[in-house]
C-alpha cells in the first residue's frame, strides 16, 4: 500500500514512517520542515518539502496517487495557540481541509488523523477519559484539533472517506526536539545532560499520560492494516504520572544532581489528564508495551548519542 504521511519528518511521524516501511508499505512524506528534521527522513520514502496549506499539495496527489493518508502535520504548540489562535486554526483546520479535499478528489481509501487526547477533553469530569467523555477544550489547540474530527465525520457521511482518529496522550522518546515547545521528557533530558537548570511549570503535581513513541507507531500500523477500524480511539496507559515523578526518573537516569526550580503554570494547561485505551485494545489489540522506566532509558540513551551529535 502507498501511504502519504504529513509531518513525516517530525518526531512521531518519522517513527510511523519507519514502521510502515518496515512492514513493506510505500511511503510519501509531506513536511515543510518547520519543526521536522531532514535527519529524521527515512531514505526509502519519497519526500516533498511542502506546507499542507499549499495549493501544490494537489500536485503530490496527482503524481503519487496514495491509497491512504496519515495526517500528523500540525501546529502543536499550546502556548502559541493561545497567543496566535488564528495561526493555529489556519494550519490545523484550513490545512486539514486542504488535505481532505485532495484525498476526496483523488479517491484515497483511508485517512488516519492524529488528534489530541491531552487537549480535547479539557478538565476531565472523570478519569481515565474514554472516547465518550465530553469535549471541552480549554486551549485553541484542543479546539482546532477537535474541529477536524467533525470534518472527518462529515467527509465519511458525504463522500465515503473512511477515517480513523487516534487521540494521542503525552508521547515521548527518541527524536523529540528538546528545544522550544516540546514534551517535558525531551526538554528535561536535554537540560539535565547539559547540566543546566530545570524549570517545572507550576507545582509539578499536574498529571499526564505518558506513552512511548514506538507504541504510538504500532497503533498507526494497526489503524492502517485493520480494514474494519473506524472512528475515534484514545491511546494511553490509563494512569497519570506527575511532572515531579518524571523529573525524578530522569534525574536518576541521567545522573543529574540539581534540584528543580518552579515557574508559573502554562496558560491553557489541563491539570490532570489520562486516557482509557480500552476501545482500541478491544478493536485492534493495541496496548502500550514499553514501561516508563524503559522508555526513559531508551530516550536518555538517544540524547546521549544521536541528539548530541547533531
pLDDT tens for each residue of 47-56? 999 999 999 9
CATH number of domain containing 11 = 3.40.50.720
Residues 124 and 201 in one domain: no
Structural domain contains residue 76: yes
Structural domains in the chain (count): 2
Instruction: Give the active site residue among 48, 121, 141, 172.
Output: 141
Q: What's the chain's average pLDDT? A: 95
- Cβ–Cβ < 8 Å for 201, 269: yes
Our measurement of the distance from residue 242's CA atom to the centroid of its chain's CA atoms, rounded to an integer in Å, reads 20
Cell 541528539, residue located: 307
Could you tell me if residue 162 is inside a domain? yes
- Distance of alpha carbon 65 from alpha carbon 103, whole angstroms: 9
User: 67 and 195 share a domain?
Assistant: no
Nearest to 64 by CA among 119, 102, 36: 102
252/136 same-domain check: no
The pLDDT of residue 174 is 97
What is the pTM assigned to this prediction?
0.95
Q: Render pLDDT for 15-38 as a digit per residue (tens, 0 to 9).
A: 999 999 999 999 999 999 999 999
Residue 229 and residue 196 share a domain: no
Overall average pLDDT of the 213-219 stretch: 98
The pLDDT assigned to 270 comes to 84
All residues at 6 or more sequence positions from 24 whose CB lies less than 8 Å from its CB, including other chains:
none
DSSP category for residue 202: T
Beta 241-242 vs 207-208: how paired, if at all?
Answer: antiparallel
Q: Are residues 167 and 257 in the same domain?
A: no
Does the active-site annotation cover 126? no
Lowest mean pLDDT segment, chosen from 204-213, 226-235, 300-309: 300-309
From start to end of the chain, where are the E strands? 2-6, 26-31, 46-49, 68-71, 110-116, 162-168, 170-172, 199-201, 207-208, 210-212, 231-234, 241-242, 261-263
Residues 164 and 249 in one domain: no
Is the same domain home to 62 and 161? yes
> Which domain covers residue 202, as residue numbers?
173-208+239-276+290-309
List of residues 6+ apart from 170 with CB closer than 8 A: 118, 183, 184, 185, 208, 209, 210, 211
> 30 to each of 14, 158, 198, 272, how far by Cα in Å?
11, 26, 34, 34
Of residues 266 and 290, more confidence is placed in: 290
User: Residue 267 pLDDT more than 50?
Assistant: yes
Q: 282 lies in a domain? A: no
Helical segments of 65-170, H only: 78-83, 85-89, 95-105, 140-159
* pLDDT score recorded for residue 246: 97
Residue 115 has pLDDT above 90, yes or no: yes
Would you say residue 281 lies in a domain?
Answer: no
For 34-51, how does the pLDDT look when each residue is reduced to its tens digit (9 = 90+)? 999 999 999 999 999 999
Q: Give me the mean pLDDT over the 113-117 stretch.
A: 97
222 in a structural domain: yes
For the stretch 123-176, pLDDT in tens is 999 999 999 999 999 999 999 999 999 999 999 999 999 999 999 999 999 999
Note the pLDDT tens digit of each residue in 58-68. Answer: 999 999 999 99
The HSE-up count of residue 17 (CA atoms within 13 Å, CB side) is: 28
Same domain, 57 and 198: no
Q: In whole angstroms, how far apart are CA 188 and each of 20, 191, 221?
A: 30, 5, 29
Q: Decide if 97 is inside a domain.
A: yes
Residue with more model confidence, 229 or 308: 229
Span between the terminal Cα atoms of the chain, in Å: 33
* CB half-sphere exposure, 240, CA atoms < 13 A: 19
What's residue 309's pLDDT?
Answer: 45
Q: Has residue 88 got a pLDDT over 90? A: yes
Q: What is the pLDDT of residue 180?
A: 53
Place of cell 472517506: 161
CATH of the domain at 247: 3.90.25.10
Amino acid at each position: 500500500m502507498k501511504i502519504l504521511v504529513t509531518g513525516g519528518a517530525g518526531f512521531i511521524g518519522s517513527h510511523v514512517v519507519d514502521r510502515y516501511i518496515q512492514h513493506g508499505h510505500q511511503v510519501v512524506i509531506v513536511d515543510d520542515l518547520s519543526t521536522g528534521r531532514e535527519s529524521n527522513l527515512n531514505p526509502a520514502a519519497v519526500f516533498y518539502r511542502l506546507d499542507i496549506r499549499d495549493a501544490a499539495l494537489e500536485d503530490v496527489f496527482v503524481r503519487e496517487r496514495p491509497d491512504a493518508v496519515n495526517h500528523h502535520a500540525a501546529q502543536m504548540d499550546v502556548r502559541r495557540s493561545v497567543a496566535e489562535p488564528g495561526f493555529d486554526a489556519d494550519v490545523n483546520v484550513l490545512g486539514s481541509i486542504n488535505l481532505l479535499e485532495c484525498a476526496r478528489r483523488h479517491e484515497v481509501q483511508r485517512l488516519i488523523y492524529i488528534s489530541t487526547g491531552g487537549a480535547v477533553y479539557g478538565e476531565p469530569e472523570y478519569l481515565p477519559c474514554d472516547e465518550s467523555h465530553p469535549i471541552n477544550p480549554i486551549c485553541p489547540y484542543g479546539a482546532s484539533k477537535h474541529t477536524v474530527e467533525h470534518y472527518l465525520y462529515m467527509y465519511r457521511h458525504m463522500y465515503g472517506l473512511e477515517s480513523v482518529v487516534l487521540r494521542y496522550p503525552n508521547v515521548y522518546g527518541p527524536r523529540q526536539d528538546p528545544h522550544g515547545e516540546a514534551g517535558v521528557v525531551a526538554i528535561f533530558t536535554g537540560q539535565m545532560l547539559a547540566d543546566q537548570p530545570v524549570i517545572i511549570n507550576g507545582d509539578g503535581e499536574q498529571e499526564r499520560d505518558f506513552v512511548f513513541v514506538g507504541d504510538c507507531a504500532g497503533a498507526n500500523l494497526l489503524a492502517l492494516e485493520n480494514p474494519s477500524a473506524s472512528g475515534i480511539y484514545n491511546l494511553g496507559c490509563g494512569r497519570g504520572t506527575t511532572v515531579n515523578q518524571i523529573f525524578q526518573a530522569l534525574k536518576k537516569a541521567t545522573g543529574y544532581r540539581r534540584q528543580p526550580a518552579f515557574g508559573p503554570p502554562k496558560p491553557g494547561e489541563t491539570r490532570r489528564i489520562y486516557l482509557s485505551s480500552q476501545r482500541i485494545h478491544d478493536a485492534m489489540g493495541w496496548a502500550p508495551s514499553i514501561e516508563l522506566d524503559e522508555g526513559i532509558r531508551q530516550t536518555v540513551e538517544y540524547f546521549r548519542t544521536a541528539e548530541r551529535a547533531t
